[in-house]
Amino acid sequence: MVTKESWRRQVGRDGGLPLFRAAGIPVLLAPSWWLGSAAIVVLYAPLVERIAPGTDGLTGVLLAATFAVFLGLSVLAHELGHSLVALRLGLPVRRLRLFLLGGVSEVMRTPTRPAHEGMIAAAGPIVSIVLAGMFSLGAMAIPHPDAVWLLIAQTAFANAAVAVFNLLPGLPLDGGRILRAGVWAATGRRSAGTKAAVVGGGVVAALLVVWAIWGVLEGSEDRWIRFGVCLLTAWFVVAGARGELAAERKRAWPDGLTLSELVRPVLQLPAESPVSGALTASAGRGVVLVRADGVAAGLLDRDLARRLASTSPHAPAEQAAVPIRPETVLLETETGDEVFERVHGTTAGEYLVVDLEGRPAGVLRRADLKAALDRR
């Protein structure tokens, strides 16, 4: 049984502070979010005094902190738009993280269709546009500008800015993903779409740098803030685009490589067989352990089997079995890209390959696939 404490330790180990679950997705707050929120408070609080003279300093800070929270919730809604569409399309989402420059939805599998890629990417900006419209209507309902009006108007502007910026045609922005989907649909090759969107990301980063330098040369009032934010954002865009390109190269299935070249022969053994004998039989092949009633107990895990055999060589091999789950079963007719996506989306070490009638045809080991891709 997974307790709340163990869940928080597991999920927050490398992603930040676990907050709650939204639609079953863990939501985490990265440490950098606090830094960004502090900067917002410092920059926003003086505006309150300008718009509403006479407002005391504490009220200004509280309104600034409220704006930071509103902005965080807006980014959360934006990312939930991506996540909910991904879930709707059958793509699992590992978690949702909020950090200094926004947020990210960690979709565990790559969309297999250009339309799915475009739908997931467009969902976030659509949510931001809707929020911008709602807050704009709220601001227009206030007859005289005051501190509350400023809070609502700034939130409307922030959502509009998030939507516009994310629609720029360069990875890792949503607009870059939409561009990739379009090129992918036109050419039939996802890699071509990725390359086009990576170029777009480079253009976006270059424009950000130019705008930052222009502000310094022009002597604008916000030149140093603009300079720092633009350079940081440009670095984020370049790093994200390079990461997308590297991931695309890793996921590309080499021409001429077939699943049958990687599959090892499969052997079926009784689940009650001595683990030492099953381990010996597993040399160069996969082992499916079958119970007396004909139900598969799982695939023999060689590492578990070695540890068990070192202390109890006559123990039932079933004690070293890994259950066969739907996500660890491959059809021998699946394409290379489909195999790669399945392996990439799970953590299993071995996958059972079956024919069209569901009979075991072999076993694919993750290490064999990695070695083959590295060689190619």
Active-site annotation, residues: 79
Residues 288, 299 contacting (CB under 8 angstroms): yes
- List strand residue ranges (DSSP E) for the chain, in order: 17-22, 25-29, 93-99, 102-107, 266-270, 286-290, 296-300, 321-322, 329-331, 350-354, 360-365
d(CA 31, CA 366): 34
The values of phi and psi at residue 327, to 5°, are -75, -10
CA distances from 18 to 12, 32, 97, 365 (A): 6, 14, 9, 34
Q: How far is residue 227's CA from residue 220's CA, in Å, rounded to a whole number? A: 11
82 labeled part of a ligand binding site = yes
| Strand 17-22 with 360-365, pairing | unpaired
Sheet-wide strand order for 296-300: 266-270, 286-290, 296-300, 321-322
Which secondary structure element, helix H or strand E, spans residue 149, and what is its range?
helix 147-166
User: φ, ψ for residue 266 (rounded to 5)?
Assistant: -115, 140
303 is in an annotated binding site: no
116 is known to lie in a ligand binding site: no
Task: Point out the annotated binding site.
Answer: 78, 82, 174
Task: Point out the annotated binding site for Zn(2+).
Answer: 78, 82, 174
